[in-house]
Structure 1
Amino acid sequence: FYSRRYDTADPALARFFYNFYRTLGPAHAILQSAGTSNALQSMIITLTLTRGQLRIKDNLSEEAVRARAKTTDTSKLAEELKNELKKFSAAFDGAKVKQIEHECKMLHVLLDLINFDYFFLLKKFDSKILEDNYLYTPRFEAVNGKYIVDNLKDFLEIIPALDPKTNWASILDMLKEYRQVEVISHNEWNKLLQAIMKVQRSKVLEMVVQLIDKDPFYKPTPRMYEKKVVEEYLSKIKSEVEFIAQKIVQEKREVKIESLASFVVGTSSISRLSNYTETANMRFSKRNLTGYIYITPLNYLKAFLLDFIKKDVKEVVNFFVIKGIWSTNTTPRLLSDAYQQFRQITDALLKFDSSLGEGEELGRKVKTAVFIAGRSKKDYNSLREIVMNINHTAKDLIYHGVENCIAMGKVLKLILE
């Protein structure tokens, strides 16, 4: 591989790497981005799953969970999903985890070998060699060792981690299934394994680097391939199932809200606010801010206050308070107080929404803050604080509205009883 007399790397070293290039080169194009994708790792794990685990996994798919949600109480379904996740995870014992993580490690070693830049190295031995032309017969010449020493060091970062005793046939078959084409020939890979084992045993490439650098103490720095693959896989499944469950709960909640809104105000689509709106939120999104977050409930509250409290409820209150005959004035006073609270909340809500208009002080303040928010972190935080305070006011209005609904409901219930 190396001539100490002339300090040159021999053509034999180039032929060694050319065998890798010819065998693994085509795989480079086929497996582009495979190293950054978790699909292959997931395939390795899936191949180890028991029938019981496969059944559980099917039951945890979004389609299956949604089907179960139609006939199962939400809280009961959440408990079932939690227990199934525990059972699924428990089947990954120590031996299975070790096997999976070893195969995933070897997969990444193989991908690093595939992605090694053999062409760049070989071009130094034969300047006429063409990339991806595997029919070309190269004519390698000896080159000064210093020109290829860095390439050798890069290669030696990979080789120490490779375990020839791994079930490579299984990994190659998986790659074939992944791309639906033979990625690497089994026979050609086995030949490379023999060459790798010789290099590992003899440490010949290490010695070549030591000779080139004139450093007898040189040792390769192996790449680290250790990764908690199973832990990440289980965490991902758990997160996905939890997200599906939360989404279903949210969807059911929204359906219930829409149903109640339709029952109370005749429609689930209400837009009564003038300035605390989704349209206003568009300017906040440009500054990566969520903006106004209580638009829907505040619209419902305004509709309820103006359409029911100001009309129907007012008539009921007047009937009981003015025309009612009471042994004490406690009950009518409570009813009157609750109604007056609603009037105050109505006035506060109208004033709040109006204050966000561009002609008002707060509205102008918001507009200016949005405009300058991109200048500095301080200006951005100032806008964020303004929006947070506005949302806090909206939340308080909703809270007081709900609180007063409960108070009036209790009084009306007392009257009816």
Structure 2
Amino acid sequence: MSLIEKILNIFVSIGDADRDKKRYLKEIKKDLKKRSRDCKVKGNTAEPALAKLFYDIYKEIGPAQILLESLQDSGAIRSIIVENFLTEKQLEVLDSLSEDNIRKRCKDNKNLKSLRDQIKTELIEIYTFFDMPLAKKINDLYSSLMVMQEFIRFDYFFLLKKFDSHLPERDYGYNPRFESINGEYIIDDLKDFDALLPLIDVDAEWDTILDLLSQYRSIDVISRDGWKKVLQIVKEFRKTKILKLVIVHLEENPSYKVISEFNTFEIVEDYLSGIKNSAENALMSIVGERKKSQRDTLLMAVFGTTSVVRLKYYTEKSNMAFSKRIDVGYLYVEPLNFLKAFYLDYYKGPIRQVVDKLLITGKWTTSLASQQFSESYHQLMTLSDDLLQFDNKLTEETDLGGKLKRLAKAADRDRNALDAMRNVLKGINSEALSILNESVQNLFAIGKNLKRCIDDYKAPKHELVVNWKEIEMMSELPILEEMAEIYKKIYYFLQLMQYYLKED
């Protein structure tokens, strides 16, 4: 063709897209006539031979549809895949970080800090197992498995039943009687399947994947020969491009293109995070259990019960009004409740009786020593009253309690009310903490002075109080026994408070 003829041909083609479309579809019809086993051009019918190809796939992978139904959501298969690449020694390190083994190790090692350090070292060691090449290999294998699952989950039965209305579901011994059908009935099915074909890596490590699936389900999910047969059909579909030709012909749409979405999965990082979180949660759980056990032991030693309820308004029940809106409420409910119980049960009873004997009846060698004892004692009296007033002012009938109730109701729709509620709660919690800290400090001083009195009573020569016999005469029980019992209660109570007022 001369240069002028080429130029004229270009101008003739411009604006004649319909002619080009017809010419393209005509070429496809010719191609399909050569493959009339699969799709006949006349009448646009899809032939039984096409259904047979899908049925050959369905027979091999249909049973796996149920077996692998929840595969994508399974953490077990991810663990199986990752651990498949670990050595026996590495698996031992991994096993040592299971919750059961961490608990066993806690029994052997009472020092939790030391155990934490060991677990931290082991976690670092596990992270070093997975370099970039190994992580990529694992992620690629899992990605191939997810593509396989999508391929298996394709609704072959729905497609095949259009060719044989009597086809029973999952009866793979049935001899189908496929008939020619209008190709328009299966266009959408063919498009969905055609989108899956490019995703399958026929050269992936399928033997390894099938081994892992067998381990996951404890049976052979798909036979190796069966999966090879399926891959061969996939290759044939790709090579002949028969599905694309059929779709283009039936839709009369030359611009049809396969749209496939290939998702890559990063399971190694999630797996490592899971191991780390599991180990840390196990340790936190053990710490919490130990704390609760020790707390309950101390509660029994102080109050004779683990059920101690004294506060009326600064309570967890009141916190429910705040927890729906913000993540904080009354922060010191438990320790403040125990403090009020201690004031009511001991300070205003046994402690007061013993301290009154020591300070009023006792003759101290120096006024400074008795004065320090007296100041702590009277300071606790004031704090006891402060605590009672603090709790009572949170009732809804008071200005503060009423304000909190109004703010809590308005907080859902008013940002300013929410911020104001936070500030009010912050002030209330600050006051609660102040009462706790001051009470603990003064109880410590009382305990310290009681210990000095106990030691002085036992000493051959009394250097602190000189009239122990007189004090003894005023006591129903031996004064040493009374002081020791009160000292023990204070000691246990201060230990209880340490769980709330100090970092672990």
Question: What range is the shorter-chain TM-score in?
Answer: 0.7 to 0.9
For residue 201 of structure 1, report the CA deviation from its aligned partner.
3.3
Query: What TM-score comes out, normalization by structure 1 length?
Result: 0.84
Report what 1:269 is aligned to.
307
Q: What is the SS of the residue equivalent to 2:101?
A: helix
Partner of 1:403: 438
Q: Which residue of 2 aligns with 1:298?
A: 336
Summarize deviations over 1:98-119 as a string: whole Å, max 9, x none: 2211221121111111111111
Matched, 1:112 2:147: no
C-alpha distance in structure 2 between counterparts of 1:29 and 1:201, whole Å: 30
Distance in 1, Cα, partners of 2:282 & 2:398: 43
CA separation of 1:290 and 1:410: change in aligned 2, threshold 3 A: closer
Question: In the aligned structure 2, how far is the partner of 1:395 from the partner of 1:26?
Answer: 65
Number of the residue aligned with 2:95 = 58
Residue 205, structure 1, aligned to residue 240, structure 2? no
- Tell me, yes or no, if the aligned pair for 1:199 and 1:205 is still in contact at 8 Å: yes
Q: Distance in 1 between matches of 2:342 and 2:390?
A: 16
Match of 1:91 in 2: 129
Deviation at 1:60, TM superposition (A): 0.5
* SS class of match (2:413): helix
Query: Quick one: structure 1 residues 204 and 341, their matched pair in 2 at CA, closer, same or farther if it must change by over 3 Å?
Result: farther
Asked if structure 2 preserves the Cα contact closer than 8 Å seen for 1:101 and 1:229, the reply is: yes
Identical amino acids, percent of aligned pairs: 37
C-alpha root-mean-square deviation of aligned residues, in Å?
3.6
Does 1:378 pair with 2:413?
yes
- Alpha-carbon displacement from aligned partner over 1:334-389 (angstroms, at most 9, x marks no partner): 5544444433332233234445567767777778888x79xx93289969976995
What is the CA deviation profile of residues 229-263 of structure 1, one whole-angstrom value per residue up to 9, with x for unaligned ones? 11110011111111111111222222232333333
1:191 maps onto 2:235 in alignment: no
Q: Which shifted more, 350-359 or 217-226?
A: 350-359
Q: Give the 5 Å matches for 1:106-255.
A: 106-255=144-293
Q: Contact conserved, 2:412 with 2:418, CA < 8 A, in 1?
A: no
Per the alignment, do residues 366 and 95 of structure 1 end up closer, same or farther by CA in structure 2, a change over 3 Å counting?
Answer: same
Residues 94 and 118 of structure 1: CA distance in aligned 2, closer, same or farther (over 3 Å): same
SS at the partner of 1:135?
coil
Preserved CA contact (<8 Å) 1:294 1:395: no
- Aligned partner (choices 79, 90, 97) of residue 42 of structure 1: 79
Contact 1:366–1:383 (8 Å) recurs in 2: no
Q: TM-score, normalised by structure 2?
A: 0.71
AA partner of residue 21 (structure 1):
Y
Can you give the 5+ residue segments of structure 2 that lack an aligned partner in the other structure?
1-37, 453-463, 465-504
Q: Residue 57 of structure 1: CA displacement? A: 1.4
Cα distance 1:398–1:231, how it changes in 2: closer, same or farther (>3 A)?
same
Equivalent of residue 26 in structure 1, options 63, 66, 77: 63
CA contact (8 A) 1:301 1:398 kept: no
Letter in 1 for 2:344: L
Letter in 2 for 1:250: G
Structure 1 residue 168: deviation in Å? 1.8
Cα deviation code 1:4-33 (max 9, x no counterpart): 443333322211111122222222122222
Aligned length: 413
Find 1:349's aligned residue among 384, 387, 400.
Answer: 387
Aligned runs of 1:327-346 on 2, under 5 Å?
335-346=373-384
Q: Whole-Å Cα distance in 2 between the matches of residues 389 and 254 of structure 1?
A: 30
Q: Secondary structure at the match of 1:75?
A: helix
Can you give the 5+ residue segments of structure 1 that lack an aligned partner in the other structure? none
Counterpart CA distance in 2 for 1:369 and 1:404 is 31
Q: Which moves more between the two structures, 159-168 or 225-234?
A: 159-168
1:6 aligns with 2:43: yes
Contact 1:126-1:141 within 8 A present in 2 as well? yes
Contact 2:65 2:152 in 1 (8 A): yes
